[in-house]
Amino acid sequence: MTDLLSYACAQLGAEPLRSLVQGGQKQVHVVKHQDGTESVLKLIDLGLAADPAALERARREVMLLQSISHPNVVGVTSDLQTIGEPPIAVFWLEQFLDGSDLRYSGSHWPAADLVALGTDVAAGLSALHFKKVIHRDLSPGNIQRLSSGKFVVMDPGFAKHTLRSGLTVGGQPGTRGFMTPEHLQAYSGSPTAASDVFGCCALVYFAATGQSPVPYKGDDYEYLKRLRTADHIPLRDARPDLPDALLAVVERGLHPQPARRYRNGEALHRAFEEV
């Protein structure tokens, strides 16, 4: 991947500053341009077999983010570029975001910060849902908390466009501990906008308590069994100090039945704003 990184940076007129993610097919680096500005370079090694699913997923991610201009969704600042013919790797640039993702933001947040998290993430989801796109992989690593206090949705790499055919991907699309009951039927197209509502409220629960509502404990069968019914300790029991209005929004969003949750990001955003 070192040669691929060097090639991508040369094509962009940039130099790598530091690595954010390394492992598997994907690398993420902060790069510096000749004018002194910084961007995030995403580089995906498609392998000698040129994995068509990975290539198409990258294309869709870039096209999706290029079509959305919203303060709570990360922006793409370049087109998708390929290396080789047929392509053995792809790369693109995204907006550099300061701060850190939710994995490093601590827990037991005060109510005001929890409301801000839910409001901002729901606003970003509303922008995705307006484009008929479902994120499907809302997890602490995919939400950035900026130094300004704003929250930004990132990495819709498993996003599904409801008006396009689905992609077959290895394993379940999503992050264990932050999947939704509908992920159990992911290949039949079950995740909906209401699934992202569940994911958003799971993130608020995580920030409030330090663990997801349905935590992953290392046993896939046991985890999926609990996930099917979204069995969890009510947030009211875990954080009785939080206001009733906030507790009600989160618990409704975590209902095991999608029809009992808020319908989409826009409805959830309104609910958090009312809190």
168 plus 264 within the same structural domain: yes
184 plus 111 within the same structural domain: yes
Calpha distance 16→33 (Å, rounded): 9
Q: Which residues contact 54 (CB under 8 A, 6 or more apart)?
A: 25, 44, 46
Identity of residue 48:
L
130 plus 166 within the same structural domain: yes
pLDDT for the residue 61: 79
Q: What share of the chain in percent tops pLDDT 90?
A: 67
37 plus 115 within the same structural domain: no
Q: Buried b vs exposed e over 80-101: b needs ≥16 C-beta within 10 Å?
A: bbbbeeebbbbbbbbebbeeeb
251 plus 118 within the same structural domain: yes
DSSP category for residue 172: -
Domain count, the chain: 2
Last residue in a domain, options 95, 110, 140: 95
The tokens for 64 are: 């999706």
Last residue in a domain, options 95, 123, 138: 95
Calpha distance 249→208 (Å, rounded): 14
Q: Considering the chain, what is the average pLDDT of its residues?
A: 88
Containing domain of residue 263, as a range? 100-274
Calpha distance 64→160 (Å, rounded): 10
157 plus 25 within the same structural domain: no
Beta strand 38-45 with 26-33 is antiparallel
Beta partners for 93? 41
Arithmetic mean of pLDDT, 52-74:
85
65 plus 166 within the same structural domain: no
N- to C-terminal Cα separation, the chain: 47
Calpha distance 257→177 (Å, rounded): 18
45 plus 58 within the same structural domain: yes
State the CATH number of the domain containing residue 50: 3.30.200.20
120 plus 227 within the same structural domain: yes
The tokens for 136 are: 């499907």
Last residue in a domain, options 30, 65, 95: 95
140 plus 85 within the same structural domain: no
Which residue bears the tokens 């999926």?
224
C-alpha torsion sign, points 134, 135, 138, 144: negative
Q: Which residues contact 20 (CB under 8 A, 6 or more apart)?
A: 28, 29, 30, 40
Instruction: Inform me whether the pLDDT recorded for 24 exceeds 70.
Output: no
pLDDT for the residue 158: 55
Question: Which phi and psi angles does 166 have, rounded to 5°?
Answer: -75, 165
112 plus 91 within the same structural domain: no
Identity of residue 59:
R
120 plus 224 within the same structural domain: yes
Q: What is the pLDDT of residues 215-272, one digit of tens each?
A: 999 998 999 899 999 999 999 999 999 999 999 999 999 999 999 999 999 999 999 9
pLDDT for the residue 169: 36
State the CATH number of the domain containing residue 181: 1.10.510.10
- On whether the CB atoms of residues 238 and 255 are closer than 8 A, the answer is no
- On whether the CB atoms of residues 11 and 93 are closer than 8 A, the answer is no
Q: What is the pLDDT of residues 147-180, one digit of tens each?
A: 999 999 998 755 554 444 443 333 446 788 999 9
Nearest of 209, 71, 212, 206 to residue 152 by alpha carbon: 71
